[in-house]
Structure 1
Amino acid sequence: MADDHTHVQDFFTARAADWDRRFPDDGPAFDTAVVALGLRPGDAVLDAGCGTGRAMPALRAAVGPGGTVLGADLTAAMLETAARAGRGHDGLLLQADAARLPLRAGTLDAVFAAGLISHLTRPGPDLAELARVVRPGGLLALFHPIGRAALAARHGRRITDGDLRAEANLRPLLARSGWTLRSYVDEEARFLALAERTA
């Protein structure tokens, strides 16, 4: 597992400084996905695998000044870029593994996770860890600013039957991990799966 984490950290450390400049047009897609999460003023939300914190301003706007926004990422360089961009003003930035969160059970109302699922070492247990920290009825948004086909094409690949984000694979994976898939969108300009924490 440490080797997998090292690979992820190496990948993102090398790209952290330029990350936001590489994807300058993603902001509206993040904003729309946060709106779909349906957060309310005063809610507590985690941006899991927050990277440079691009979702954090929208998350802060959704929960208001009385809410709690946490941004957790494994890679220090991404968090440093987030802090330089001022995103630490929108919430608390934490260096933490989404598979072992330093949070009590049931303390959050929601988790937002952009691009996270493809970097999880053990998707089932890791999604169960996200479920652990969310109250029953709380929500999970698995998001990417482009759809599965567009993302595969960007990397010179094709979508395979084993893609975890395919609805047929994601629905049972979430169900085994404490979530119920409520809606699923996979289109050219957006991937967004919304799930509810089961009781």
Structure 2
Amino acid sequence: MADDHAQVQEFFTARAADWDARFPDDGPAYAAAVAEIGLSPGDAVLDAGCGTGRALPPLREAVGPEGTVIGLDLTPAMLAAAARAGRDGSGALMLADVGRLPLRDGVLDAVFGAGLVSHLPRPAEDLRELARVVRPGGRLALFHPVGRAALAARQGRQITGDDLRAERNLRPLLADSGWHLATYVDEDDRFLALAVRQD
């Protein structure tokens, strides 16, 4: 697992400085995805694998000044880029592993994860850990600003049958990890899977 973490850190460290410049038009897609979570003022939400923190401003707007927003990432360079962009003003930045969250059981109302699932070294265990910190009935939003086919085309590869984001793979993975997949959208201009924390 340490090797998996090192690979993720290496990948994102090399890209942190120009990440936002590479994807300058994603802001509205992030805001639209956050709007679909159904957050309320005063809610507590975690942006898991927050990267440069592009979801933090819309998350803060959704929960208001009395809410709690945490941006968590495994890569120090990504958190530094989030701070340079001023997004630490929208939420607390935390260096931590999704698989070992420094949070109490049931303390969150929701988790937002952009591009998260494909970078989890132990998907079932890591999603179970996210479920641990979310109250029953709380929500999980797995998001990407482009769909699976568009992302594969952008990366010059084919979608394979073992893609964790495919509905036939994601639904049982979530169910085994304490979540119920409520809605699933995989279109060229967005991927959004919304799940509810089971009792």
Give TM-score, length-normalised by structure 2.
0.99
Aligned to 2:3: 3
2:148 corresponds to: 148
SS in 1 for 2:182: strand
State the distance in 2 between where 1:161 and 1:8 align. Answer: 22
Paired residue total: 199
Q: 1:154 Cα deviation (Å)?
A: 1.1
The residue that corresponds to 2:12 in the other structure is 12
- 1:91 matched to 2:63: no
Matches within 5 A, 1:1-199: 1-199=1-199
Percent identical among aligned pairs is 74
Root-mean-square deviation over aligned CA pairs: 0.4
Q: CA deviation at 1:171?
A: 0.4
Counterpart CA distance in 1 for 2:157 and 2:116 is: 19
1:188 is displaced (CA, Å) by 0.3
CA distance in 2 between counterparts of 1:91 and 1:43 reads: 13
2:15 partner letter: R
Shift of 1:155: 1.1
What are the Cα deviations for residues 34-72 of structure 1, in whole angstroms up to 9, with x where unaligned? 000010000000000000000000000000000000000
TM-score relative to the length of structure 1: 0.99
The residue type paired with residue 9 of structure 2 is Q
Q: Quote how far apart the aligned CAs of 1:182 are.
A: 0.2
The answer for unaligned runs of 5 or more in structure 1 is none
Runs of 4+ in 1 over 3 A off after TM superposition: none
Could you report, residue by residue, the CA deviation over 1:1-23 in whole angstroms, capped at 9, with x for unpaired residues?
A: 11110010011001000000000
Q: Residue 62 of structure 2 aligns to which amino acid in structure 1? A: A
Which amino acid in the other structure matches residue 139 of structure 1? R
3-state secondary structure, aligned to 1:20: helix
Aligned counterparts of 1:14 and 1:161: Cα–Cα separation in 2? 29
